[in-house]
Amino acid sequence: MSPAILPYPKPHNVPQVDDYFGTAVPDPYRWLEELDSAETKAWVEAENLVTASYFEQLPDRSTLLQRMEQLTDYERFSAPSRYGTRYVYAHNSGLQNQAVVYWTEGLEGQPQVLIDPNTLAADGTVALGGLSVSEDGTLAALALSEAGSDWKRILVRDVATGKDLPDEIRWTKFGSPAWRLDGSGFYYAGYDAPPDGDPLKAVNHFPKIYFHKLGTPQSADAMVFERADDPEIFLHVSVTDDGRYLVISQHKGTSPNNSLALLDLDSPAAGVQQLIADADAAYSPIGNDGTRFWLYTTLDAPNGKVIAVDLAQPAREHWTIVVPESSSNLNGASLVRRTLILDYLTDAQSQVELYSEDGTHRGTEPLPGIGSVGGFGGRRDDAETFYTFTNFTTPGAIFRLDMETLESVVYRAPKLLFDPATYITEQAFVTSKDGTQVPLFLTYKRNLERDGNNPTLLYAYGGFNVSLTPAFSPVTIAWLERGGIYAQASLRGGGEYGEAWHAAGTRLQKQNVFDDFIACAEWLVAQRYTSSAKLAIQGGSNGGLLVGAMLTQRPELFGAANAAVGVMDMLRFDKFTVGWGWKQDYGSPSEDEAEFHAIHAYSPLHNLHAGTKYPATLITTADHDDRVYPAHSFKFAAAMQAAQAGAAPVLIRIETRAGHGAGMPVRKRLELSADTFAFFLHELGAAAD
């Protein structure tokens, strides 16, 4: 479809020029940062009309949506968690917009509804953004999110009656409330209320830890802790299983490194004490026995290890190593029935090892195959734990692990609506520009021919220590059924190989991420899985930045692209909401000259050039995204449409009453996926006849 058929809006330019260390940088679409202005709203409406007219003529759209609905229409459960004698879990019957949370008396008791978010809004756009249940299972703190916003409103519900107490907490964002053991109230991280009329854009600084006593107004909540010395600190709070200690984790932006503070709740007058004052590594409590704490840390161990710290002798010279660093990345740790359950990533696949509290190896937990696990929650004295297993063709199955016998049994498993034996998953290792070996998973039909003609979707993220591991998605099955290949790359910047792997894709080394992705794309073409004309790429958030960088660095390498909720204006990412926190990964474009030049060299918005033939591009965002401000996508779309010299379309799809992705109703998710895959198939020449 040629640009002549697509009547893109003609946004005006403004003479905005910023100076960065002597470099003049124009920003002609700065006005699109004002989301509520009449001219921005008019531009959004015009762009959505263009995009809607494009999708209306795609025959695959409706058939894909129908098949995705069928594949998604299966029962899904979360692993249950025990509180007192009650168990709590989430359940979706299939196509419900939001999962319903249930509780049972005992593991096999009759399910009772704790909260059904589907009843909170007719369009399914109010979601449960967090849930904390008191130790005895009688009360639940419900964090509700509206229209996809990161802002949460906390209500307190009586579990047995389903009635809400008068308590209400506003202006919280990240983390979950932490109950006192006696259920008298909970601790939470809160922000000052944003300026009137500006909750989705205003910068969020200086979170504080408060204690909310049940039955009192929020205005009476006592502030327990703050870091007035640094506005860019995130705070997360938890209470130890024995109820003795409040644990406050403090980390600078999105850095994995943190400091730890403790408040002895038996002696609160002593005040908060810094256990680990220097954020020189990651420190995460696993469990405790009185004053003895087991901690996960990356101190002198980029792949992670387990140490023991006794509050009676907290100095570092008294710390002991319980489980030393492995060649695999320690991805998660818990302490159940006095057993350390350690979830490692070995080449981006899960491997679970069990150790006694003194570090003696108890065994390896057998898994059904190549895949990813999650869960293993519980307390130090619990007799059981639950975990999930999934991979690209296996929906999440839940297992119960008996901590006495160490035997696992299937607790719940979805009924499949397709034959997983039809597909095969393999893992390759691709050599990047500097010789680094990059893991690449590929899933496709067993009878696939490597003739260079297969529509292929390459997905990646590459940032913030996030690990991409095998996971099931019903919409991906719809892509595979159409003869597509799904390829997932584990790039530097992620956490697949520990902190060294993460650091190698940050700040001045960010180009490594893009080089890794380019190498994977070139490998897929060279090995004749696909060709450039048949290769689509996709990424969201930091992965949207990745796609934007690929469009500007190697536009000829791809046939189609979807940049979802991406960080596109890398010179202004720290100006909105919590964007300042990303400087730990990206660097600071306004405070460090070397980092400015590195960022400016790849910033998607600033590397679009008129006269370039860009591949077919679908930019997706949402009007309530207060994580990655929608103006990133707005400005990039306007600039790319103006620069496009080829015949391929450049579209932007702007979802309404939705945010960064969390809590989006199932229907909206499926419509977005159907639109995206129909776009890919059409532009790659693989649409149905």
Catalytically annotated residues: 541, 660
Around Cβ 219, how many Cβ atoms within 10 Å?
Answer: 5
Tokens of 154: 């906390």
Strand, helix or coil at 287? strand
SS3 content of the chain, % helix, strand, coil (to 5): 25, 35, 40
> Does residue 220 contact residue 167 with C-beta atoms inside 8 Å?
no
How many residues can be counted in the chain?
689
640 contacts 581 by C-beta, under 8 angstroms: no
Kindly state the tokens that stand for 133. Answer: 């249940």
List alpha helices for 482-560, DSSP H.
499-503, 511-526, 542-553
Q: How far apart are CA 520 and CA 440, in angstroms?
A: 7
What's the CA angle centered on 180, arms 177 and 185, to 5 degrees?
70
CA distance 531 to 304: 39
Beta carbons within 8 Å of 681's beta carbon, 6+ residues apart:
60, 64, 455, 482, 687, 688
| Cβ 105 vs Cβ 86: under 8 Å | yes
Is residue 644 a contact partner of residue 632, using CB atoms and an 8 Å limit?
no
Helix axes 593-602, 542-553, angle to 10 degrees: 70
Q: Are 347 and 467 in contact (CB under 8 A)?
A: no
Q: Which of 197, 175, 195 is nearest to 186 (CA)?
A: 175
Give residues with Cβ within 8 angstroms of 163, minimum separation 6: 157
- Rounded CA gap, 301 and 325, in Å? 6
Q: What string of DSSP letters covers 101-143?
A: EEEEESTTSPPEEEE-GGGS-TTS-EEEEEEEE-TTSSEEEEE
Q: How many CA atoms lie within 13 A of 140 on its CB side?
A: 29
Question: Could you tell me the CA-to-CA distances from 360 to 319, 353, 354 in Å, in that order?
Answer: 18, 11, 9
First to last CA, the chain: 17
Asked whether the CA dihedral 516, 571, 44, 4 is positive or negative, the reply is negative
Q: Distance of alpha carbon 558 from its chain centroid, rounded? A: 25
Q: Is 80 left (phi over 0), alpha (psi -120 to 50) or beta?
A: beta
- Quick check: helix, strand or coil at residue 663? coil
Q: What whole-number distance in Å separates Cα of residue 523 and Cα of residue 526?
A: 5
Tell me the torsion sign for CA atoms 411, 414, 419, 420: negative
